[in-house]
Amino acid sequence: MLYNILIADDEPEITELLQLYLEQDYKVITARDGLEAISIVQSRQIDLAILDIMMPGIDGLQLIKKIREAHQLPVLFLSAKSQHHDKILGLGLGADDYISKPFNPLEVVARAQALLRRVYHFDAVGTQPQENEKVIIGELILDRMQCKLMCSGREVLLTSTEYKIVSLLLEQPGRVFTRKKIYESVWEDYYAHEDSTIMMHISNIREKIERDPKQPVYLKTIRGLGYKIEAPMEL
């Protein structure tokens, strides 16, 4: 399958560089600003979006809000190193990953491949029966056939990265997963350094499944170790 990748950046040299590296394996569509990008997402099949944060018209943060209103496609942010708060906000708004500028284009290709492989893997798994099609912990129900999560009878809308984290934790309830283990399982890459990526995804998941995210009953932080999901003592 030839995936369609959208690159939205107002710097032509960046879009041209990424297009050069990505078009060998993917169909690449480019946008010069956020307004053009949202028009493309709304009118064409886009499988992955690579978005710059700082763009004229609609910036990357506004753009991902628009995208998440109707689409769950994976999003990779490009961000200047000085914009750390924007990276955190971007992950909070539903981005799956980010890369700091200046970047190695080969790293962008590798991250894009990992995101696409993850989404494609979900589709493949969903077509084959499994021994335990559903995992039930309290009022959380993970349907592995349909790749969706239910909480208290309602569907929880997750990004592909959030789904992968939830699936990893739910399938071994009570087990503490280190940040390293989560990163290497979900991103399928070597965990080289501490950053806020996992923390922000965990925070997003809590907002979606916990009645009070500040006092979680399902998704617990084990200080100094990592995270686990377990059934609450009382619902």
pLDDT tens-digit series, residues 153-179: 999 988 888 998 999 999 899 999 999
Average pLDDT over residues 67-79: 89
pLDDT at 40: 96
Say whether pLDDT at 127 is over 70: no
Phi/psi for 27 (5° steps) reads -85, 120
| Better pLDDT: 140 or 81 | 140
Check pLDDT > 90 for residue 97.
no
Output phi, psi for 233, to 5 deg. Answer: -65, -40
Say if CB 55 and CB 14 are below 8 A apart: no
Most confidently modeled of 4-13, 143-152, 186-195?
A: 4-13
Higher pLDDT, 29 or 92: 29
- Please tell me the predicted confidence (pLDDT) of residue 88: 76
CATH number of 134-229: 1.10.10.10
Q: For residue 151, name the pLDDT band (cuts at 50, 70, 90).
A: very high
Q: What is the pLDDT of residue 56?
A: 85
Give pLDDT, residue 115: 86
CATH 1.10.10.10 residue ranges of the chain are 134-229
pLDDT surpasses 90 at 30 = yes
pLDDT value for 234: 61
Given a cut of 90, is residue 190 above it in pLDDT?
A: no
Residue 203: Cβ-neighbour burial (10 angstroms; 0-12, 13-18, 19+): middle
Q: Which CATH superfamily is domain 4-125 in?
A: Response regulator (3.40.50.2300)
Average pLDDT, the chain: 86
Residue 61 near residue 93, CB atoms below 8 Å: yes
Mark 162-175 as b/e (b = at least 16 C-beta within 10 Å): bbbbbbbbbeebee
Rounded Cα distance between 148 and 216, Å, is 21
